Amino acid sequence: MEQGQTNSDLISNGWFMEKNKQWSGQAFSLEVEKVLEVKQSEFQDIMVFQSKNHGNVLVLDGVIQCTEFDEYCYQEMLAHLALNSHPNPEKVLIIGGGDGGIARECAKHPKVKSVTQCEIDGDVVALSKKYLPSMASGFESPKMNLNIGDGFAFMEKHQNEFDIVISDTSDPVGPAERLFSENYYKLVHAALKEDGILSVQGECMFLHANLIRNLLDFCNGLFAKAAYATSYVPTYPCGQIGYVLASKNAHTNFKKPAIVFNEDEKEKIGFRYYDEEIHENAFVLPRAFKKILAGT
Ligand code: SAM
């Protein structure tokens, strides 16, 4: 989105076109049935529209955050890659995640006892409850404790407390820019218990390979180990998004889940994307991208 533009400016002739400097020269489009709400919050420009074939869509500062059509791909992977890499993920902290989808995934995990969430923008939560109820259902769980405030300030007060921290952020522009800084990762590291695991939205390998390499290099220095996993999400740029996983425990093997569910359990949890086979294969990466990550 250009400076001075609003979300509404990206709709033309009944189509929302996700033009953005972060992926210059390309733009994914969705046909718009009806704009449901437009709101300038204290932090960002928010829009929810009903699309023709992809359900309701949440847009923040010109960028699609989630659609009812394919949100499960992202939410299940960001949450369950981390939860199931830990033998006992009882206490979870989510930073961001205002649509509620990550909270929903964490709350339904049988080993998770409490889910604390810190989202800076109460308007994102309110609009998600109104227009994205299947995601915002996460907020209704008795395991949930939602705080509206800055993730930085929250973590400064909560150290050595969580088994899992999930950073469900928008891209590194706007209010989420600081959530990609070194200071942020140091705070996450301190918020985690000694064998804790971090899962963070890790951007698209086709568009942001250098950012991902820098993030991984930094996490490999700060944590005992770090890795990048990938999944399809058709309505994200290039149809691909990654997840950076980092563990304080040198024995964590991200490629072999510590928790594996039987078929009945998988049905009960309601997985649509995630299972142990997807988990193991999510770390298999294309050759060209592996070379960039290795710096060769
Ligand atoms: N899954 C989607 C994606 O990756 O595009 C959605 C991410 S979720 C909507 C991102 C949320 O992070 C936003 O609601 C935003 O308000 C929140 N956020 C940004 N900066 C934050 C901060 N410093 N502390 C807490 N939440 C923050």
Q: What is the pLDDT of residues 31-90, one digit of tens each?
A: 999 999 999 999 999 999 999 999 999 999 999 999 999 999 999 999 999 999 999 999
Whether residue 176 has its Cβ less than 6 Å from ligand 1? yes
pLDDT, position 3? 74
Which of 169, 200, 231 has the most ligand 1 atoms within 8 A of CB, as the residue to mutate?
A: 169
Which of 106, 120, 131, 173 has the most ligand 1 atoms within 8 A of CB, as the residue to mutate?
A: 120
Q: What are phi and psi of 274, to 5 degrees?
A: -80, 135
Strands of the sheet containing 114-119, edge to edge, are 144-148, 114-119, 91-96, 162-168, 192-201, 240-247, 225-232
DSSP secondary structure code for residue 126 in this structure: H
Distance 293 CA to ligand 1 centre (A): 26
141 class by beta-carbon count within 10 Å (0-12 exposed, 13-18 middle, 19+ buried): middle
% of residues, the chain, pLDDT over 70: 96
pLDDT-derived band at 175 (thresholds 50, 70, 90) equals low
Ligand 1, atom nearest to 98 Cα: 14
Ligand 1, atom nearest to 101 Cα: 1
Distance 31 CA to ligand 1 centre (A): 24
Q: What is the pTM of this model?
A: 0.96
The answer on pLDDT for 99 being more than 70 is yes
Residue-wise pLDDT tens digits, 256-291: 999 999 999 999 999 999 999 999 999 999 999 999
DSSP secondary structure code for residue 223 in this structure: S
Q: Which of 168, 171, 264, 275 is catalytic?
A: 168
The answer on pLDDT for 2 being more than 80 is no
Listed range (20-24, 104-108, 189-193, 197-201) with the worst mean pLDDT: 20-24
pLDDT, position 169? 85
**Atom 5 of ligand 1 has which residue's CA nearest to it?**
65
Rg (CA), the chain: 18
Total Cβ atoms within 10 A of residue 292: 15
Residue-wise pLDDT tens digits, 120-168: 999 999 999 999 999 999 999 999 999 999 998 999 999 999 999 999 9
Structure tokens at 204: 């698209």
What SS3 string covers 66-124?
EECCCHHHHHHHHHHHHHCCCCCCCEEEEEECCCCHHHHHHHCCCCCCEEEEEECCHHH
Strands of the sheet containing 45-51, edge to edge, are 11-12, 15-17, 29-40, 45-51, 56-60, 63-67
Verify whether residue 61 is a known catalytic residue.
no
Average pLDDT over residues 9-23: 94
Distance 172 CA to ligand 1 centre (A): 10
DSSP secondary structure code for residue 149 in this structure: S
Average pLDDT over residues 111-123: 98
Higher pLDDT, 183 or 36: 36
SS3 162: strand
Using CA atoms, how far apart are residues 66 and 136, in angstroms rounded to an integer? 12
| ipTM (interface predicted TM) | 0.95
* Angle CA 185–189–195, to nearest 5: 145
CB 78 within 8 A of CB 243: yes
Whether residue 65 has its Cβ less than 6 Å from ligand 1? yes
pLDDT, position 172? 64
15: Cα separation from own chain's centroid: 25
Using CA atoms, how far apart are residues 48 and 135, in angstroms rounded to an integer? 14
Which of 60, 74, 94, 170 has the most ligand 1 atoms within 8 A of CB, as the residue to mutate?
A: 170
Q: What are phi and psi of 198, to 5 degrees?
A: -105, 140
**Atom 4 of ligand 1 has which residue's CA nearest to it?**
170
Distance 147 CA to ligand 1 centre (A): 13
Q: Which residue shows structure tokens 């950076």?
A: 244
